[in-house]
Amino acid sequence: MRISEIALRFREWRTNRQESLPGVAVLRPYELKPSRGVVARLMAVFLLSLVALGIAAADEGKSSVIAQPPAAPAGSSPCNRDCLYGFADKFFDALGMHNPHGVAFAPGVKYTENGQNVALGEGIWKTFSRRGTYRVYLADAANGETGFYGDFSEYQGTLLGVMAVRIKVQDRRIAEVEVITSREQLRPVGGLGANTAGIMTPRMFNELNPRAFVSPDAALLESVTGSARTPREQLIAATQSYFDGFTQSKGSAVAFDDKCSRRENGMAATGNADGLVADPAQPAFRIFSGSCAAEIDRGFFSALSKVRDRRLLVVDEEQGLVLNVAMFDNRGNVKTVAVNGVGNIAVPRQFLRPMSFIELQLFKIEIGKIREIEGLSWAVPYGMRSVWDK
């Protein structure tokens, strides 16, 4: 806010105050001729008033600081589902303002983006525009954690992506924030080659399509009631069985519901008759055309990638949701894969290099069975690790 604007507001305030007092002569702004010293003192008082009233203009966090906590905790009463959702919304409100000031962060709050430590006010705080219409909330009141999974945009809506957020709340203050983002790949138009982004971000055959994230499937938003609700331990066991089955190429080892469906990066990853052809010499083999169990039984991806650092983010018993993340390492030295019932499949050239994948999964579980999976997958430097796993 410019000094001239502050002076104008002060004069307007003083004039309005005089007009509201009966019997007091009104002095118009052009009739005021105070000395420079008086103006300076008045300006100082007004500036302090602005700070006290919280009317400071947004500056994209450039001058923001995290306020010191009061002597007493912000609150020790339990934070229920609505309370946790409120913390998530306040976080996104601050993110949209590009300023963490005003959010109840705990001293020494740990904040990361894609597994790397980032200072509050940096990273996506500089670029975030808004959330989209695809929004799934999770809450684990027993552990003081809330989660979010949905689409977002940056740079005034010109860059789209999908994100997951985990927020840890202690004593009504945010102690941890873990942001995981996957962004659309904006590649050159015109034909600089099929893999113009280079070795760090190879062009994958199922890259993120954020425009496919319009509204969540109804099942992801429904509470699970009665006998269909699954205890926390079984929710965790079901998701762990998914990674165990992937490692063993054994679909029967996974607690799949018979009607299980899966999406990855916005694309149908089960029952997709138009699934991608990995090897032109084997056009009958289409990736993502089988069921949840059949895709694992084929063993195509498990032959390429080794799972490590699997980690729970948020477990929501009431909604039967589990949000977790793992790292898949692709060594780049596998050229063909023997697929059950098909034969040898040549590995697409995109995979012929060392790289790792961040694999984010949102599971919907009922009666202990995985009913639905929303997944994100994108390439990162080989062997990359999260600070949460070190």
* pLDDT tens, residue by residue, 30-43: 344 445 554 455 55
Architecture of domain 76-183: Roll (3.10)
* Burial label, 77 (beta-carbon count in 10 A; 0-12, 13-18, 19+): exposed
Confidence of residue 211 (pLDDT cuts 50, 70, 90): very high
d(CA 213, CA 43): 50
pLDDT at residue 219 above 50? yes
Architecture of domain 222-390: Roll (3.10)
The DSSP 8-state label assigned to residue 249 in this structure reads T
pLDDT at residue 192 above 80? no
Picking from 377, 360, 376, 369, the residue whose alpha carbon sits closest to that of residue 260 is 369
Strands (DSSP E) found in the chain: 105-113, 116-117, 128-140, 145-154, 159-170, 173-183, 256-264, 267-268, 276-277, 286-287, 305-316, 321-330, 336-339, 343-346, 355-366, 369-380
Task: Identify the bridge partners of residue 167 per DSSP, sorted by sequence position.
Answer: 146, 177
Paired tokens of 229: 């609700």
What would the pLDDT profile of 278-293 be if each residue is shown by its tens digit? 999 999 999 999 999 9
Which one of 69-83, 197-211, 358-372 scores highest in mean pLDDT?
Answer: 358-372
d(CA 332, CA 70): 53
pLDDT at residue 190 above 80? no
The predicted pLDDT at position 39 comes to 47
d(CA 86, CA 316): 16
Confidence of residue 59 (pLDDT cuts 50, 70, 90): very low
Distance between the two ends of the chain, CA-based, in angstroms?
44
What number is the average pLDDT over the span 362-390? 95
What would the pLDDT profile of 310-364 be if each residue is shown by its tens digit? 999 999 999 999 999 999 999 999 999 999 889 999 999 889 999 999 999 999 9
CB atoms within 10 A of CB 244: 15
The predicted pLDDT at position 186 comes to 76
What number is the average pLDDT over the span 121-138? 97
The DSSP 8-state label assigned to residue 353 in this structure reads S
CA 67 to chain centre: 25
Helix, strand and coil in the chain, % to nearest 5: 30, 30, 40
CA count, 13 A, side-chain hemisphere, 368 = 7
The predicted pLDDT at position 163 comes to 98
**Which residues 6+ apart lie within 8 Å of 185 measured at CB?**
197, 201, 203, 207, 208
d(CA 239, CA 71): 42
CA count, 13 A, side-chain hemisphere, 358 = 24
**Which residues 6+ apart lie within 8 Å of 46 measured at CB?**
6, 9, 10
Q: Residues of CATH 3.10.450.50 domain(s) within the chain?
A: 76-183, 222-390
The predicted pLDDT at position 294 comes to 95
The predicted pLDDT at position 69 comes to 42
d(CA 81, CA 321): 14
Paired tokens of 182: 């996957």
Paired tokens of 55: 């009317």
Chain position carrying tokens 């009317």: 55
The predicted pLDDT at position 12 comes to 53
